[in-house]
Structure 1
Amino acid sequence: MLLFVLLLILLTVAVVHWRAAARERQAETDYPPSGQFIEVDGTRIHLRVEGTGPDLVLIHGANGSIRDFTFDLMGRLTDRYRVIMVDRPGLGWSSRAGESYTGVLNTWAEPPAVQARVLQKALDQVGVTRPIVLGHSYGGAVALAWALERPEDTAALVLLGAASNPWPGRLGPLYQINSSRIGSAVVIPLIAAFAPASRIEETVASIFKPQATPEGYLDHFGPEMTLRRPTLRANAQQVNSLRPHVVEMATQYPDLTLPVEILHGTEDTIVPLRVHSEPLAQLLPNATLTRMEGVGHMPHHADPDAVEAAIDRAATRAGLR
């Protein structure tokens, strides 16, 4: 009887991983790399460069990739900026930032400063100098870390719904479970193997609320790429470990004197305005906060004109235009 149970467990595990692997292969076939790869100390960073003009770096948020920006925003900017979009370590087509962050039993996550340094070294190789750095959501924390790492070589920041300050309480239980060893080994393969399309659509819709998911966004973005097992692990670990890093970073924000444009939706329930951008604007000596009335967590989709205008203001304030 015991042998039968063990065989059944092994068969179940094999089926789960077979199905997860099949879905991952299909996702990678449907959404291949759209840019180039740069090697940084053994880490492979995927980036895409388009346009001409002052350098503008775009850093996506949690569960994101370059594709979030290529849906619409990139095309609005390439006539006057050299736009450099990057997949953060462990997401999109970029690998984790070193072997210490890989593996099913790993629970370590790359802090924003580590991600910023890896991306900076990658972008050094394509000649990026004194860029405007735009970060959305979790990418906002990485953008702030970028400026803290290289304050003299960062022209300006544009922060969209940025996770920048410590928040009360804990994140949802799924982040805690999936960033643990048990969650990594058991729960994540089940999600990768069996997450239904309806649940994916609901999750994306909740990120855009109160706005609707833009028509064609799901087909362009490819949420199936975020359901790959290594990507799910990287995202859960990075998000779940973020809070102590922003606690430390917040003590350094007053040292950042560069121009900063902050845009945040008043209806953002994922990264609330009052917890993050309002205190951030008080800490940064040269920041302008734009409260986007009625906008949720995706301001670059809800009101791309306002985001364009903020980027242009940042360029002007930095002396790049």
Structure 2
Amino acid sequence: MYVFLGLLSLLILCGLGLALNTLLWKRRAEQTVPPRGAFTRISTGRLHYLDVGAGPEILLIHGLGGQMGNFDCGLIDDLARDHRVIAIDRPGMGYSDRPMTHPCALADHAELMFEIMDKLEIRNPLVVGHSLGGAIAMAMAVQDAERLRGLALLAPLTLRAGTPAEVFDGLRIRSDFLRWLTAWTVATPAALRQADAVIDQVYGPEEMPPNAPTQGGAMLTLRPSHFYNTSRDYMQSGDGLDEMSRKYAGLTVPVRLLYGTEDRILDPQIHGAKLVGRHPQMGLKLVPGGHMLPLTQPKVCAEFIREASDKMRGSLTIRRASPEVYR
């Protein structure tokens, strides 16, 4: 009995120590990467967003485990020279709120994006989605294409295929309680211990830019809410994807994709070439590089997005977009 109580006390002390360590890293991350935009409120709570520039509107949607900083290492400033650019922390990520049990399948994310458009008075935007943000953009087009000018997708998730990258293994948690417990105990020290391997897989074969931890917001990945919501997003990222992909053929909004040929997270041959092979009205551009193109190649991304914006200007009235508009 005494042995059991001793072991239980030791376990509790270890848990409290890990929770305190997590809290300290959370505060350090928030001091290093404070909010950079404004706040408003939507149905999920507080929304953190950045709204800069003037001109045709571009809505930037970051990917799994990201936040608006993923676009803020040069891309936002470049596009804001001649566009109104709105970057958001997706609900649950960065400094945006989301209830712990809020549904987060692709269709749910898309509905929130339309709510954000209404709240921020975004009309007929070009939607730029990176990685999971690309799948959310496609879900928006499937739900209500007439509200969008077009899609310019950066290394997007488009189809259900293949084995997920090893970097996501630690996110595979089905219980919300275990997810919360992991977030407040072992997730942060594990992230610090595995940082080099994760960076290599996520950014490789390119180097992580030196300003990615701060300006790019990567330090915020050490917050427990980040792990919790990233895990929930990951576990529901495939919900509805097959059904959604069957509707791609009927899309009446222009779609263009940019992919790095050496992407280690999503296979450009599946999510890019295979997609466009099925739907040749869509356009695909391949460039040397990895998955994190908005951070590693912001100028290339800006050129791609700006070209798409120019070609898709006024495309709201298109019912069957011509290949010239798509490409």
Please, what TM-score do these two structures have when normalized by structure 2?
Answer: 0.87
1:33 aligned onto 2:32 = no
Larger relative contact order (Cα-Cα within 8 Å, sequence gap ≥ 6): 2
Pick aligned residue for 1:214 from 195, 203, 209: 209
1:94-142 deviations in Å (ceiling 9; x for gaps): 112x4533xxxxxxx5012211211221232221000000001111011
Are 2:32 and 2:219, in contact at CA under 8 Å, matched by a contact in 1?
Answer: no
1:135 aligned onto 2:129 = yes
The equivalent of 1:234 in structure 2 is 229
Are 1:133 and 1:143, in contact at CA under 8 Å, matched by a contact in 2?
Answer: yes
Shift of 1:158: 0.5
1:266-304 deviations in Å (ceiling 9; x for gaps): 111210011211222234463111111x31112234433
> Which stretches in structure 1 are left out of the alignment for 5+ residues?
102-108
Aligned equivalents of 1:298, 1:239: Cα separation in 2: 17
Aligned equivalents of 1:288, 1:33: Cα separation in 2: 35
Aligned equivalents of 1:65, 1:215: Cα separation in 2: 17
The equivalent of 2:198 in structure 1 is 203
Seen in structure 2, the aligned counterparts of structure 1 residues 288 and 42 have a Cα distance that, compared at 3 Å, is closer
Tell me the amino acid that sits aligned with residue 278 of structure 1. A
The SS at the match of 2:269 is: coil
The equivalent of 2:117 in structure 1 is 123
After TM superposition, list the pairs within 5 Å mapping 1:1-321 onto structure 2. Answer: 1=2, 2-96=4-98, 98=99, 100-101=101-102, 109-169=103-163, 172=166, 174-175=169-170, 177-181=172-176, 183-195=178-190, 197=192, 199-284=194-279, 286-292=281-287, 294-320=288-314
1:28-50 deviations in Å (ceiling 9; x for gaps): 12212111222122432211101
Tell me the amino acid that sits aligned with residue 202 of structure 2. I
Q: Name segments (4+ residues, structure 1) moved above 6 Å.
A: none
Seen in structure 2, the aligned counterparts of structure 1 residues 51 and 125 have a Cα distance that, compared at 3 Å, is same
Tell me the amino acid that sits aligned with residue 134 of structure 1. V
The SS at the match of 2:101 is: helix
Shift of 1:219: 3.0
Seen in structure 2, the aligned counterparts of structure 1 residues 255 and 50 have a Cα distance that, compared at 3 Å, is same
The SS at the match of 1:218 is: coil
Shift of 1:183: 4.3
Seen in structure 2, the aligned counterparts of structure 1 residues 27 and 93 have a Cα distance that, compared at 3 Å, is same
Aligned equivalents of 1:199, 1:187: Cα separation in 2: 16
The SS at the match of 1:58 is: strand
Aligned equivalents of 1:304, 1:210: Cα separation in 2: 16
Tell me the amino acid that sits aligned with residue 264 of structure 1. Y
Seen in structure 2, the aligned counterparts of structure 1 residues 216 and 258 have a Cα distance that, compared at 3 Å, is same
Structure 1, 2-11 or 136-145: larger mean CA deviation: 2-11
Seen in structure 2, the aligned counterparts of structure 1 residues 171 and 193 have a Cα distance that, compared at 3 Å, is closer
The SS at the match of 1:262 is: strand
Aligned equivalents of 2:150, 2:191: Cα separation in 1: 41
Seen in structure 2, the aligned counterparts of structure 1 residues 262 and 196 have a Cα distance that, compared at 3 Å, is closer
> Which stretches in structure 2 are left out of the alignment for 5+ residues?
316-327
Query: How many correspondences in the alignment?
Result: 312
Shift of 1:7: 1.5
Tell me the amino acid that sits aligned with residue 212 of structure 1. E
Aligned equivalents of 1:93, 1:216: Cα separation in 2: 19
Structure 1, 165-174 or 54-63: larger mean CA deviation: 165-174
Shift of 1:169: 3.7
| RMSD between aligned residues | 2.2
Shift of 1:254: 1.1
Seen in structure 2, the aligned counterparts of structure 1 residues 250 and 63 have a Cα distance that, compared at 3 Å, is same
Structure 1, 112-121 or 199-208: larger mean CA deviation: 199-208
Please, what TM-score do these two structures have when normalized by structure 1?
Answer: 0.89
